[in-house]
Amino acid sequence: MYKTKIDLSEKTRRNVIVILNDRLSDAIDLQSQVKQAHWNVKGPHFIALHELFDKISDAMLEQIDEIAERITSLGGTAEGTVAVAARRSKLKNYPLSITSGRDHLLYLSTQLSVYGKSVRGAIDATDELADADTADLFTQLSREIDKYLWFLEAHLQDKA
């Protein structure tokens, strides 16, 4: 760990960094899955979904950056390579064979909900470690995840 004048104990920072790096892996994995859907979606709602998936991908890139910067500000190393993310991510592998908009929506909404649950767990864990700033960061991410989950699920709730 790098030295910092942040007034959290080294033990607290180490524990928080582990949580942050785990969520970083999930976020990197999810962003790549959303991009997979963006590139490969087909069907009557192509353009709407193509653009929505791109918007979610951009939001995930911002989350990745926020998480990584918090890690480094605490004196840690952001472990954000694709290889590390693939090994650590708690998300299921994205099926490369799907193309229909509905299938992408179903799969991405499940993946986003899994990520959201892990982020909410990180809120509690970092709060218990008395790192209110990291808990606040995760709270901010959680709100954004829920918003995009709503966007995805809205496409699935059409009764027609």
Angle at 22 (CA atoms; ends 61, 98), nearest 5 degrees? 60
Q: Predicted confidence band at 159 (pLDDT cuts at 50, 70, 90)?
A: low
Average pLDDT over residues 10-38: 98
User: How do residues 89-114 score in pLDDT, each as one tens digit?
Assistant: 999 999 999 999 999 999 999 999 99
Query: What 8-state DSSP symbol labels residue 100?
Result: B
Domain ranges across the chain? 10-156
User: How do residues 128-141 score in pLDDT, each as one tens digit?
Assistant: 999 999 999 999 99
3-state secondary structure of 13: helix
CATH class of the 10-156 domain in this structure? mainly alpha
Classify residue 1 by burial, with Cβ atoms within 10 Å: 0-12, 13-18, 19+. Answer: exposed
pTM of structure: 0.95
